[in-house]
Chain A
Amino acid sequence: MDLFIAKNVTKRFDQHRALDKVSINVPEGSIFGLLGPNGAGKTTFIRIVNRILAPDEGELFFRGKPLSPADIFDIGYLPEERGLYKKMKIGEQAIYLAQLKGLSRHDALKKLNYWFEKFELKGWWNRKVEELSKGMQQKVQFIVTVIHEPKMLIFDEPFSGFDPINVNLLKEEILEFRKRGATIIFSTHNMASVEELCDHIALINNSRKILDGNVWEIKKTYKTNTFEIQFTNFEGDTRSFLPSSFEVLEQKTINEHFITKIRIPADAKPNDLIRELLPHVMIQSINEIIPSMNDIFIRTVTGQNPDTSTSSSEKV
């Protein structure tokens, strides 16, 4: 079931189209990556989801019903441009922001106690924000984003500006929230974290959605049946014994280890390749080359057709 659905969302600023008929479906309980280069329209889209902006055209559905003002209590949003009131004490500020999210003062205090304990911020309750280190401020920002335990969490470039320790902390918390049933949308161009966390993605480029779906499915459609094989006990060219339909893309020798990349025909199986190789070489390993999200991102954004070339295919 989809928790959130956007249908043909279009947003214009002046003559410029920031979003052009963007439709996405966010499955419940998933971690949904919203990818795209800078200026593609990700932030505009996220602002529309948060009801900060209104779309010029298109519809939005949350839990099966059109998105309503009350739904923002079920959404937690950590914007890319985030900050706190510098002169305000952090405890007081956190209560204020939690109350704006609809919590009562009493509930806010109780929950903040838990989070401040967890993030080791207890002693800082009465300190002003400007006295805190950047990392601590980011922890506070994260806390106020999730304090009302929303059904849907939206993070816009959540890891930018976080140090590696806090990045890990954040990742753990994000996964923890998913375990408890929350759905997470996060916008990023950090592809490593996409690989690590996301199970669905949508790729926006030039205001349009150019790719979306389950991460594994996408990778499957982008893979080229290319395998990397390591073997020993061989000198010469593998092309000499392989059928011509098996395309050798690369071969090199490192310390008596022979490494080669071979693309097999679409109807062939990995076993066919092994069968061809076995009489001639001693196989040490065989791996299918799965395109990374980074490759897919670059390929789709720069408009190269994945079928005719791959970023890793350099003919020898």
Chain B
Amino acid sequence: MNKILLIIRREYMTRVRKRSFIVMTILGPLLMAAIVIVPVYIATMTNEVKTVSVIDETGFFFRKFKDSESVKFHYLVSDIWSAKSSFTKSGDYALLYIPKTELTLPTSAILYSKSQVNINVKSYIKTVMSRRLEELKLEAKIRDLKLGEDAKLTTDDILRSINASVDINTIKIGNEGKEERSYPEVSMILGMFSGILIYFFIFLFGSQVMRGVIEEKTNRIIEVIVSSVKPFQLMMGKIAGIGMVGLTQFLLWVILTGSIVTIGISSFSLKMKPGTATEQLMQAQTKNMTALQLPNTADSTKITGEQTNEALAAFESIDFFFVIRYFIFYFIFGYLFYAALFAAIGSAVDSEADTQQFMLPITLPLVFAIVMAQYVIQEPNGPWAFWLSMIPFTSPVIMMIRLSFNMGNDFWQIYLSMALLILGFLANTWIASKIYRTGILMYGKKVSYRELWKWLGYRN
């Protein structure tokens, strides 16, 4: 046991101290932060004026949408059908349709667009609508108070009852006028992101395991070491050590990306309207209060604030603790499942150039999982999604995507998938260790699959 710790320590320390590790740790977050910050920056910086046509069947929102530097609103008085057909031909950015409701206040709207709707525009519309609705509700309450019919109403109750939320469905209109509904973006992004992250992690650190094994073989140090420790200990120590390097890098990325994005966005807001950065953070946290405190602001700074607001609101809709817990599980066990195979391949060859023929069984299922991910997103509870999330070869990627969506009460599926992955890991490690212990002592021999199969029977 002590020896495994020694091996883990060596594998970990030699890698963490490498220059490439430090460079990757710094560059990674800069890159990721850029991916987050740049679009926000561009979206707000763009000079192009977007025109949004509004069809308001309710009449509640007339003149409520204020033009800003980047967005102009103009109201149409026509029915939605003709507006939609003329929209495709017009140069308008988007078409906002607020359908008439009979009894209640309107709480939903549809936003038609030719391309993905700018999140700023969407959140602005949403803010204006909810604020207007709150006003309407407040008016009604105040009227009630005046009539004195409900004297028990307290201010708190009022605040609570006027809290209005608005759903905006975005619909993309293609050139042929076909409508496609956008998916719940946040789940999709989160699912894809975590799936791809696991995919990369497996490849990146799995091939480090493989390279490490090949290095020991070509260095000819392997026999020195296996005369002191069991090959299995060496293999597991290597896998664990490199896995911990991966986790370290991942954690550093999360922390660094988080701080860069926070600093980046707040300093960038600061530039827009000095002195309001703190205020905006507050807004983000107390979204319900903002409407009352700062009514009718429609400048671009406000939009930036709402952007944070929007993202936060969307993130709040996901049970993060739930997702992260499983993410860590699939992250670790997905890696462990494949790392043993990578180690076995490394042991069977003499140089990295020879690994090609054996990489297929690893590459194929992983690439397949990523390819299938887009279908799984469309149907997160369909049969493909189900089977791919059960098979250990694809489950780390596919299950993460499914988990980001609401899986309902099918917890047994998660547990079954996890159990199968653990079993798969044990089976893989068992097979891999048999190949490994024979392979590491084999030099100058081109190995075939038939050969590997025979190695399973050797007594070591």
A196 CB–B CB distance under 8 Å: no
B443 CB–A CB distance under 8 Å: yes
> What 1/0 flags go to B213-228 for Cβ under 8 Å of A?
0011001111111111
Asked whether, in the complex, the Cβ of A84 is within 8 Å of the Cβ of B221, the reply is yes
Asked whether, in the complex, the Cβ of B14 is within 8 Å of the Cβ of A56, the reply is no
A54 CB–B CB distance under 8 Å: yes
User: Which residues of chain B are within 8 angstroms of A87 by Cβ–Cβ distance?
Assistant: 14
A227 CB–B CB distance under 8 Å: no
B292 CB–A CB distance under 8 Å: no
A181 CB–B CB distance under 8 Å: no
Complex-state Cα separation, A23 to B231, whole angstroms: 26
Asked whether, in the complex, the Cβ of A97 is within 8 Å of the Cβ of B228, the reply is yes
Asked whether, in the complex, the Cβ of B224 is within 8 Å of the Cβ of A82, the reply is yes
User: Which residues of chain B are within 8 angstroms of A53 by Cβ–Cβ distance?
Assistant: 441, 459-460
B10 CB–A CB distance under 8 Å: yes
Asked whether, in the complex, the Cβ of A50 is within 8 Å of the Cβ of B14, the reply is no
A100 interface neighbour in B14, B215, B225, B231, Cβ under 8 Å: B225
Asked whether, in the complex, the Cβ of A85 is within 8 Å of the Cβ of B221, the reply is yes
Residue of B nearest to A11 (CB): B459
Interface residues of A in 240-291 (CB under 8 A from B): none
Q: B278 CB to closest chain A CB, in angstroms?
A: 49
B6 CB–A CB distance under 8 Å: yes
Q: Name 8 A/B residue pairs within 8 A (Cβ), A-sorted.
A: A14-B454, A72-B227, A75-B227, A79-B223, A84-B221, A100-B3, A100-B225, A100-B228
Residue of B nearest to A88 (CB): B14
Complex-state Cα separation, A84 to B454, whole angstroms: 30
Q: B249 CB to closest chain A CB, in angstroms?
A: 19
Asked whether, in the complex, the Cβ of B3 is within 8 Å of the Cβ of A81, the reply is no
Asked whether, in the complex, the Cβ of A141 is within 8 Å of the Cβ of B224, the reply is yes
Complex-state Cα separation, A97 to B7, whole angstroms: 10
Interface residues of B in 1-46 (CB under 8 A from A): 3, 6-7, 10, 14
Residue of B nearest to A54 (CB): B459
Complex-state Cα separation, A77 to B221, whole angstroms: 12
A83 CB–B CB distance under 8 Å: yes
User: Which residues of chain A are within 8 angstroms of B225 by Cβ–Cβ distance?
Assistant: 97, 100
Given known contacts A81-B220, A82-B223, is B443 in contact with A100 (CB within 8 Å)?
no
Interface residues of A in 63-116 (CB under 8 A from B): 72, 75, 77-79, 81-88, 96-97, 99-102
Interface residues of B in 103-126 (CB under 8 A from A): none
B407 CB–A CB distance under 8 Å: no
Asked whether, in the complex, the Cβ of B219 is within 8 Å of the Cβ of A84, the reply is yes
A47 CB–B CB distance under 8 Å: yes
User: Which residues of chain A are within 8 angstroms of B229 by Cβ–Cβ distance?
Assistant: 100
A298 CB–B CB distance under 8 Å: no
Residue of B nearest to A52 (CB): B226
Chain B at the A interface: mostly helix, strand, loop or mixed? helix
A202 CB–B CB distance under 8 Å: no
Given known contacts A81-B443, A87-B14, A99-B6, is B224 in contact with A13 (CB within 8 Å)?
no
Candidate in B6, B215, B219, B223 with the most chain A CB atoms within 10 angstroms:
B223
> What 1/0 flags go to A209-250 for Cβ under 8 Å of B?
000000000000000000000000000000000000000000
Asked whether, in the complex, the Cβ of B458 is within 8 Å of the Cβ of A13, the reply is yes
A83 interface neighbour in B6, B221, B226, Cβ under 8 Å: B221
Q: B206 CB to closest chain A CB, in angstroms?
A: 21
> What 1/0 flags go to A27-63 for Cβ under 8 Å of B?
0000000000000000000010011111110000000
Q: B349 CB to closest chain A CB, in angstroms?
A: 16
Asked whether, in the complex, the Cβ of A56 is within 8 Å of the Cβ of B227, the reply is no
User: Which residues of chain A are within 8 angstroms of B441 by Cβ–Cβ distance?
Assistant: 47, 52-53
Interface residues of B in 191-206 (CB under 8 A from A): none
A144 CB–B CB distance under 8 Å: yes
Given known contacts A13-B458, A14-B454, A88-B14, is B224 in contact with A97 (CB within 8 Å)?
yes
Complex-state Cα separation, A85 to B220, whole angstroms: 9
User: Which residues of chain B are within 8 angstroms of A78 by Cβ–Cβ distance?
Assistant: 224
Not counting A52-B227, A86-B219, A97-B224, a sample of 13 additional A-B residue pairs whose C-beta atoms are within 8 angstroms of each other reads A13-B458, A52-B226, A52-B441, A72-B227, A79-B227, A82-B221, A82-B223, A82-B224, A83-B224, A87-B14, A99-B6, A100-B6, A145-B224
Complex-state Cα separation, A82 to B460, whole angstroms: 20
Interface residues of B in 273-306 (CB under 8 A from A): none
> What 1/0 flags go to B224-268 for Cβ under 8 Å of A?
111111010000000000000000000000000000000000000
Given known contacts A52-B441, A53-B460, A54-B459, is B6 in contact with A144 (CB within 8 Å)?
no
Residue of B nearest to A81 (CB): B220
A79 interface neighbour in B6, B219, B224, B454, Cβ under 8 Å: B224
Candidate in A13, A51, A83 with the most chain B CB atoms within 10 angstroms:
A83
Asked whether, in the complex, the Cβ of B6 is within 8 Å of the Cβ of A96, the reply is yes
User: Which residues of chain B are within 8 angstroms of A52 by Cβ–Cβ distance?
Assistant: 223, 226-227, 231, 441, 460
User: Which residues of chain B are within 8 angstroms of A47 by Cβ–Cβ distance?
Assistant: 223, 441
B223 interface neighbour in A13, A81, A88, A99, Cβ under 8 Å: A81
Interface residues of B in 64-86 (CB under 8 A from A): none
User: Which residues of chain B are within 8 angstroms of A51 by Cβ–Cβ distance?
Assistant: 227
Candidate in A77, A81, A97, A141 with the most chain B CB atoms within 10 angstroms:
A81
User: Which residues of chain B are within 8 angstroms of A99 by Cβ–Cβ distance?
Assistant: 6
B219 interface neighbour in A14, A55, A85, Cβ under 8 Å: A85
Complex-state Cα separation, A1 to B216, whole angstroms: 38
> What 1/0 flags go to B437-460 for Cβ under 8 Å of A?
000010100000000001000111
Residue of B nearest to A99 (CB): B6
Complex-state Cα separation, A76 to B123, whole angstroms: 72
Q: B442 CB to closest chain A CB, in angstroms?
A: 10
Given known contacts A83-B221, A84-B219, A87-B14, is B228 in contact with A101 (CB within 8 Å)?
yes
User: Which residues of chain B are within 8 angstroms of A88 by Cβ–Cβ distance?
Assistant: 14
Residue of B nearest to A84 (CB): B221
Q: B348 CB to closest chain A CB, in angstroms?
A: 15
User: Which residues of chain A are within 8 angstroms of B443 by Cβ–Cβ distance?
Assistant: 81
Residue of B nearest to A13 (CB): B458
Residue of A nearest to B228 (CB): A100
User: Which residues of chain A are within 8 angstroms of B10 by Cβ–Cβ distance?
Assistant: 96
Complex-state Cα separation, A81 to B224, whole angstroms: 9
User: Which residues of chain A are within 8 angstroms of B460 by Cβ–Cβ distance?
Assistant: 52-54
User: Which residues of chain A are within 8 angstroms of B6 by Cβ–Cβ distance?
Assistant: 96, 99-100
Complex-state Cα separation, A13 to B460, whole angstroms: 11
Given known contacts A96-B6, A100-B3, is B228 in contact with A72 (CB within 8 Å)?
yes
Asked whether, in the complex, the Cβ of B220 is within 8 Å of the Cβ of A83, the reply is yes
Interface residues of A in 126-145 (CB under 8 A from B): 141, 144-145
Residue of A nearest to B225 (CB): A100
Q: A134 CB to closest chain B CB, in angstroms?
A: 12
